[in-house]
C-alpha cells in the first residue's frame, strides 16, 4: 500500500505495514551502513522488501573492475550478483554465495514485527585462507594477466567469514533498535496527524453550523427590517390625520372648544407627534439597516451648523434652566456631507444632553480639526496599515448624570437604555443613538463617548474631511 492512499486509520495501524525506509529514515540508514562497512572492512548494501536499493556502502573493488573488462568473467560476475539478489535465507539465518573471483557474499534478512522488511548484502570479501586466484577463473578467461590479478587480490578486503557473520548480526540488532524507535515516532506522528484531522473536521462542522445560524439570523433581521418599514409606513398615514384633525380642533375650525376639551385635544396632538417621531425613527433605522437611505452630500459650513443646532435647542434648554455654549476652533475646512442628517445627529445628542442634565447645568457644543486613526475595524491587527486622517471633530459635552464605562458601547444598540426599568425618570425609546451612530458611519465617520470632568458625558463625533476641502 502506498503512503498516498493510506487513510488516517491505516496510519494508526502502521505497525503492520510500515516499510523499512518509513521506519528508519534514509539518511540514518546510509550513515549506519557506511560506518558498519568502515568498521568491518567489507562492502554493504541494504535493500527494501520490494528489492529497491536503500543504502549502498560498497567501494569499487579494483579486482572486480579488472575482471569486468573480460566478457566471460563479466557474464559470470553478473550471474553471481543476480543469484545473490534472489537469495532468501530463512528467518534469522544468513546465506552465503561465492563468486568467480574467489570472494564471498553474505545475505541476511531484516525483520520487523515478524515481517520481512528488507535484506542486507555484505561483500564481496575474501577470506584470508584464499591463497590464489581460483583456477575456474583462469579456465574462463585464459587471457587474464595472472600477475595483475594476483596483485589486485592482495589489496582486496581480507575478512574472515566469522567476522562478517558477526558484523551482520550486529547490524541486524542495531537496525532492530532503530526500527523500534522509528515505529514509535511514526505512530506518534500518525496519531498527531489523525487528531489534527479530526479537530479540523470538527471545526469545519462547527463552522458550517455557525454559517447556517448566521444566514438564518440575517434572514430574520431582513424580515424584521421589512416588517418595521411596512408597519411604520402604514401607521404614519392615519397618525398624520390624527395630528391634523386635532390641530384643526385647537384652531376652532369645527367650532369653539370649551373647558377641559382644549387640554385633552392638546394632549392628543402632543402624543400623536411623539408617536410620529418614533415612527420616523423606526423608518430611518430600517432604511439605514437595509442600506437604502441615500445621503444628499454637498459642501457645508461647520460653524453655521453648530450655531443653528445651539439656537434650535436653546429655548428647550432654558425651560430646564440649562445653558448652551458653543465653541468653534477656526479655521475649519468645509465638510462634504448631508447637512440635514448631520444636524439631526447633533440635535439628537444635544437633546439627550439636555434630557440627562439637571437644572443649572451646561451643555457645550464644539467643533475643531483633528487627525485620527482609521482602522478598518477593531482587532483586525492591521496596525501598520492604519493612517491618520483629518476629521472635523464635534463634541457635545454635558454636566449631567454621565454614562458608566460598561454602558458606553451598548447605548448605541437599538432600544438600549442605561436604566431600562419602567421607573425611569426620563422618557425615550432608546432608538436615537443607534440612528445617530449609523448616520455618522454612513458619512464614514466614528462616534464614541467619554466621561466629562467632574461629571457628565461627552459624545465625540468625527467626520472625515475630503482632501480637496482640507487644502482649500
- C-alpha span between 165 and 138 (Å, rounded): 29
Asked if 362 touches ligand ADP (CB under 6 A), the answer is no
Site mask for ligand ADP (CB under 6 A), range 239-278, x = bound: ----------------------------------------
Asked if 430 touches ligand ADP (CB under 6 A), the answer is yes
- CB nearer to ligand ADP: give 171 or 397: 397
Q: Smallest distance, Å, CB 379 to ligand ADP? A: 25
Q: Which long-range contacts (C-beta less than 8 Å, at least 24 apart) are formed by 66-74?
A: 66/148, 66/149, 66/152, 67/100, 67/101, 67/137, 67/141, 67/144, 67/149, 70/141, 70/143, 70/144, 72/140, 72/141, 73/100, 73/101, 73/137, 73/140, 73/141, 73/144
Q: Directed axis angle between helix 260-290 and helix 432-442, to 10°?
A: 40
Within 389-408, the residues that bind ligand ADP by CB under 6 A are 398, 400-401, 403
Q: Smallest distance, Å, CB 412 to ligand ADP? A: 8
Could you say which of 432, 438, 440, 447 contacts ligand ADP (CB under 6 A)?
432
Give me 188's grid cell: 506518534
Cell numbers 391634523 correspond to 244
**Euclidean distance between the first and final Cα of the chain, in Å?**
75
Q: Smallest distance, Å, CB 11 to ligand ADP? A: 58
Q: Smallest distance, Å, CB 249 to ligand ADP? A: 29
- C-alpha span between 303 and 464 (Å, rounded): 16
Close Cβ partners of 14 (under 8 Å, ≥ 6 residues apart): 22, 183, 186, 187, 190
Could you say which of 64, 149, 179, 433 contacts ligand ADP (CB under 6 A)?
433
Asked if 138 touches ligand ADP (CB under 6 A), the answer is no
451 vs 156, 304, 386, 404, 408, CA distance in Å?
95, 27, 26, 8, 9
Q: Which residue is nearest to ligand ADP (CB)?
A: 428
Could you say which of 352, 364, 452, 462 contacts ligand ADP (CB under 6 A)?
352
Q: Which stretch binds ligand ADP (CB under 6 A): 26-34, 52-60, 311-319, 415-423?
A: 415-423
Q: Smallest distance, Å, CB 349 to ligand ADP? A: 7
Give me 409's grid cell: 458601547
Burial of 133 per CB tally in 10 Å (0-12, 13-18, 19+): buried
- CB nearer to ligand ADP: give 105 or 459: 459
Q: Smallest distance, Å, CB 235 to ligand ADP? A: 18
Count of residues that interact with ligand ADP, criterion CB under 6 A: 18
Site mask for ligand ADP (CB under 6 A), range 438-457, x = bound: -------------------x
Cβ atoms < 10 Å from Cβ of 178? 17
Which residues of this protein are in contact with ligand ADP, per CB under 6 A? 352-353, 356, 398, 400-401, 403, 411, 416-418, 428-433, 457
Amino acid at each position: 500500500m502506498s503512503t498516498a492512499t493510506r487513510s488516517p486509520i491505516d496510519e494508526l495501524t502502521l505497525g503492520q505495514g510500515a516499510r523499512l525506509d518509513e521506519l528508519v529514515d534514509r539518511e540514518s540508514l546510509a550513515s549506519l551502513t557506511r560506518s558498519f562497512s568502515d568498521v568491518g572492512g567489507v562492502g554493504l548494501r541494504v535493500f527494501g522488501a520490494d528489492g529497491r536499493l536503500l543504502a549502498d556502502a560498497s567501494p569499487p573493488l579494483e579486482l572486480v573492475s579488472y575482471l569486468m573488462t573480460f566478457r566471460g568473467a563479466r557474464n559470470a560476475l553478473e550471474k553471481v550478483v543476480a543469484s545473490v539478489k534472489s537469495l532468501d535465507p530463512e528467518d534469522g539465518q544468513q546465506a552465503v554465495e561465492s563468486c568467480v573471483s574467489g570472494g564471498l557474499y553474505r545475505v541476511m534478512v531484516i525483520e520487523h514485527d515478524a515481517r520481512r522488511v528488507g535484506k542486507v548484502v555484505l561483500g564481496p570479501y575474501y577470506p584470508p585462507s584464499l591463497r590464489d586466484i581460483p583456477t575456474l577463473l583462469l579456465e574462463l578467461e585464459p587471457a587474464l594477466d595472472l600477475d595483475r590479478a594476483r596483485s589486485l587480490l592482495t589489496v582486496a578486503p581480507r575478512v574472515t567469514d566469522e567476522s562478517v557473520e558477526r558484523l551482520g548480526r550486529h547490524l541486524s540488532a542495531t537496525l532492530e533498535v532503530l526500527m523500534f524507535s522509528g515505529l514509535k515516532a511514526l505512530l506518534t506522528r500518525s496519531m498527531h496527524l489523525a487528531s489534527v484531522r479530526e479537530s479540523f473536521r470538527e471545526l469545519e462542522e462547527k463552522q458550517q453550523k455557525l454559517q447556517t445560524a448566521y444566514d438564518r439570523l440575517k434572514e430574520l433581521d431582513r424580515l424584521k427590517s421589512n416588517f418595521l418599514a411596512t408597519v411604520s409606513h402604514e401607521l404614519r398615514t392615519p397618525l398624520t390625520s390624527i395630528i391634523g384633525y386635532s390641530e384643526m380642533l385647537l384652531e376652532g375650525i369645527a367650532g369653539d372648544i370649551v373647558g377641559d376639551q382644549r387640554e385633552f385635544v392638546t394632549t392628543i396632538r402632543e402624543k400623536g407627534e411623539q408617536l410620529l417621531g418614533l415612527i420616523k425613527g423606526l423608518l430611518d433605522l430600517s432604511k439605514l439597516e437595509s442600506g437604502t437611505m441615500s445621503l444628499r452630500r454637498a459642501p457645508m459650513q461647520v460653524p453655521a451648523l453648530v450655531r443653528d443646532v445651539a439656537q434650535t435647542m436653546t429655548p428647550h434648554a432654558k425651560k430646564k434652566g440649562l445653558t448652551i455654549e458653543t465653541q468653534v476652533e477656526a479655521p475649519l475646512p468645509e465638510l462634504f456631507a448631508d447637512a440635514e442628517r448631520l444636524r439631526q445627529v447633533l440635535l439628537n445628542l444635544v437633546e439627550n444632553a439636555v434630557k440627562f442634565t439637571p437644572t443649572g447645568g451646561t451643555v457645550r457644543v464644539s467643533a475643531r480639526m483633528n487627525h485620527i486613526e482609521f482602522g478598518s475595524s477593531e482587532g483586525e491587527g492591521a496596525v501598520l496599515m492604519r493612517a491618520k486622517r483629518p476629521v472635523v471633530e464635534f463634541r457635545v459635552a454635558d454636566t449631567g448624570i454621565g454614562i458608566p464605562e460598561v454602558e458606553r458601547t451598548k447605548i448605541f444598540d437599538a432600544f438600549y437604555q442605561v436604566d431600562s426599568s419602567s421607573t425611569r425618570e426620563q422618557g425615550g425609546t432608546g432608538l436615537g443613538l443607534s440612528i445617530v451612530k449609523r448616520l455618522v458611519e454612513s458619512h464614514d465617520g466614528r462616534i464614541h463617548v467619554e466621561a466629562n470632568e467632574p461629571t457628565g458625558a461627552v459624545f465625540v463625533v468625527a467626520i472625515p474631511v475630503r482632501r480637496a476641502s482640507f487644502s482649500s
